[in-house]
Structure 1
Amino acid sequence: MADMSHSEILRLQAALQRLLGSPKLTVNVPPRKGMSVEIAVAGEVVGTVYRDEDEGEVSYAVNLTVLEEDLPAA
């Protein structure tokens, strides 16, 4: 996992807000170097972002976590 710059995190946040249609989505700068970059919606952490660089190409993998207790009743 490569660390992301503050500028890169802000650019990623803008892209995800646009892509997912949610201005409440934030990509949070980790408190310490080497920690995971987290995605939150309205302040609630919903997942993590991983940066990958391969042969000069950079990509981002988003891992969203949904707890069963947050699902609507069947």
Structure 2
Amino acid sequence: MDKQEVKRLEKYLRDTFRLDTIHVSARPQKSDSVEVSIGDEFIGVIFRDEDEGEVSYAFQMAILDIDLPENI
């Protein structure tokens, strides 16, 4: 993904989640995906898919069991 596309994704996420500390950055040696972080903490990856001229993005985020609250 080029720099403009990365900036557009970052703006979309910041506006959608109302969180200015979301950062989207290129992945080393990967051109089909970018990394997403909040502050210094990595939270997931966005993959770009192009099919029949239409572009879509898939955000993948893993949530570890140890990060979930104990009792709710």
Q: What is the root-mean-square deviation of aligned Cα atoms in Å?
A: 1.5
Identical-pair percentage: 39
TM-score normalised by L of structure 2: 0.85
TM-score normalised by L of structure 1: 0.83
Give structure 1 regions of 4+ aligned residues with deviation exceeding 2 angstroms.
31-36
What count of residue pairs does the alignment treat as equivalent?
71
Q: Shift of the alpha carbon at 1:23? A: 0.9
Q: What are the ranges of 5 or more consecutive residues in structure 1 without an aligned counterpart? A: none
**Separation in 2 of the partners of 1:33 and 1:50?**
10
Q: What are the ranges of 5 or more consecutive residues in structure 2 without an aligned counterpart? A: none
Contact 2:22 2:38 in 1 (8 A): yes
Task: Mark the CA change 1:43 to 1:35 in structure 2 (over 3 Å): closer, same or farther.
Answer: farther
Hey, what does 1:50 align to over in structure 2?
A: 47
